[in-house]
Structure 1
Amino acid sequence: MDFKEIKKLVKLLKEEDLAVLSISDDDTHIHIEQKGSAVSAESLQQGDAVSPAVQNAVSSGLVEITAGQIGTFYNQKDENSEETFVSVGDKIEKGDQIGFIEAMKVFNDVKSDVAGVVEEITVANGDAVEFGGVLIRVRPEEA
Structure 2
Amino acid sequence: MDLKQIHELIKIINKSNIGEISIEDKDGKVTIKQKEEAPVTVAAPAPQVYTTMPQAPAAAPQAAPATTPQATPAAPAAPAQADNLITVKSPMIGTFYRRPSPDKPVLAEVGTEIAPGKVVCIIEAMKLFNEIESEISGTIVKVLVEDASPVEYDQPLFLVKP
| Closer/same/farther in 2, CA of residues 74 and 129 from structure 1, 3 Å limit | same
Give the TM-score taking structure 1 as reference length: 0.57
Q: Does the CA contact (< 8 Å) of 1:39 and 1:58 recur in 2?
A: no
Is 1:52 matched up with 2:55? yes
Query: Once superposed, what is the RMSD of the aligned Cα atoms?
Result: 2.7
Report sequence identity in percent.
27
CA offsets 1:22-68 (integer angstroms, 9 cap, x no match): xxxxxxxxxxxxx747469xxxxxxxxx8837x97786111111000
**Among residues 89, 100, 112, which one is paired with 2:111 in the alignment?**
89
CA distance in 1, matches of 2:156, 2:128: 20
CA offsets 1:62-113 (integer angstroms, 9 cap, x no match): 111100010000011212x251001101111111100110011011111111
Is 1:117 matched up with 2:139? yes
Q: Which runs of 5+ in 2 are unaligned?
A: 1-46, 59-77
Q: Greater share of helix residues, 1 or 2?
A: 2
Q: Which runs of 5+ in 1 are unaligned?
A: 1-34, 41-49
2:88 is paired with a residue whose SS is: strand
Paired residue total: 95
Which structure has the larger Rg over C-alpha atoms? 2
Q: Does the CA contact (< 8 Å) of 1:66 and 1:134 recur in 2?
A: yes
> What is the letter of the counterpart of residue 87 of structure 2?
E
